[in-house]
Copies of this chain bind each other. A is one copy, B any other.
Amino acid sequence: MTYGAEPTARFLRACRHLPVDTTPVWLMRQAGRYMPEYRAIRAKYSMLEIIRSPELAAQVTLQPVTTFDLDAAIIFADILPPLIGMGLHLEFAKGEGPVISNPIRTPYDIDLLATPPAEETMPATLEAIRLVATELAPRNIPLIGFAGAPFTLASYAIEGGGSKHYARTKALMYSEPAAWNRLMTKLVTVQGDYLIKQARAGAAALQVFDSWAGALGKQDYIRYVQPYNAMLFKMLAGAGVPVINFSTGTSSYIEEVAAAGGDVIGVDWKLPLDEGWARIGYDRAIQGNLDPATLLAPWREIRPRVDDILDRAGGRAGHIFNLGHGILPDTPVDTVRRLVDYVHERTAT
């Protein structure tokens, strides 16, 4: 992959396996409910209202990079809204999480799904990216764009919301392989386009979230997910920015996840970082992997766990410090500040 000139921002350098002065750190869901500034905005606006307002989304995106010494921002958005453009009715019900009132139940439902270009369906997020990228350029803080991976979006679209067993998804996947293929390729089309447009709008890196891939066993992952993720990462190779391939619950076959593509492999906390990196291969960068629940403990308990991750990274180029999943709402702000600063101090060369 060619990305042009060598970047100076340490997050982008780590994505490209270049030496850094200190380990870069950002946190999944870093703009979130644990921050009072965020809660103040959410008290006035719904999730979808913020996402649909470029100014509000930009404002929320900037909150954590203003408050903490983070090495990257991530655009405030959600993985599900692209499904709206495909024809699904999505709502964020209070206390219930996302609900789709017309979920996919038959192959015919899949035929009906539209694949419009992102500038028609996600203009607010693309505009928010332009606003934030302009704002952050003088500070040399890269902005990460993101989208859901095809399996994770397919699961939401089929289950109609969160799920424990993914029973309908698997039933459709097993029973209707041709329909599954149509659904997954449509999602690759839509998500690939959306991610490329995010890069064009100013995202300096892209993260693909396959948060639910871990519902599958290794063989099903290889058969029903990996080929589509590989297509998506191939499309993204043309975007000219590094791509992070993140999933959870996949640590028993993380090699297969990595085989699908991505410059950086995001890992959860189920594997010690060195084991994960060895299995992924040291030619790839790695992102992770503190258990977010750790941040609810006192600092004296957190520090040895952070040390352990940094020790396992072993000072190799290509480690981006992050949590293994999104930060929890009860996390103390002061803990986040200490964490970010400690990673920088501890790894300064």
Contact = CB atoms under 8 A, between A and B. Distances in A.
Interface of A: 165-168, 170-171, 174-175, 214, 216-220, 249, 251-254, 268-272, 275, 289, 291-294, 296-298, 301-302, 308, 324, 328, 330
Classify the secondary structure of A's interface with B: helix
A204 to B, nearest CB: 30
Q: Kindly name the residue among A214, A217, A251, A297 whose own CB sees the greatest number of chain B CB atoms within 10 A.
A: A217
A293 B166 contact: yes
A98 to B, nearest CB: 14
A222 to B, nearest CB: 10
A117 B268 CA distance: 40
Report how many copies the assembly holds.
2
Contacts of A253: 270-271
Contacts of A296: 167-168, 170-171, 174-175
Contact of A252 (B170, B171, B251): B251
Contacts of A218: 270-272, 275
A165 B217 contact: no
A271 B292 CA distance: 25
A294 B170 contact: yes
Given A297-B175, A330-B167, A219 B308 contact: yes
A270 B170 CA distance: 14
Contact of A174 (B174, B271, B301): B301
A235 B81 CA distance: 53
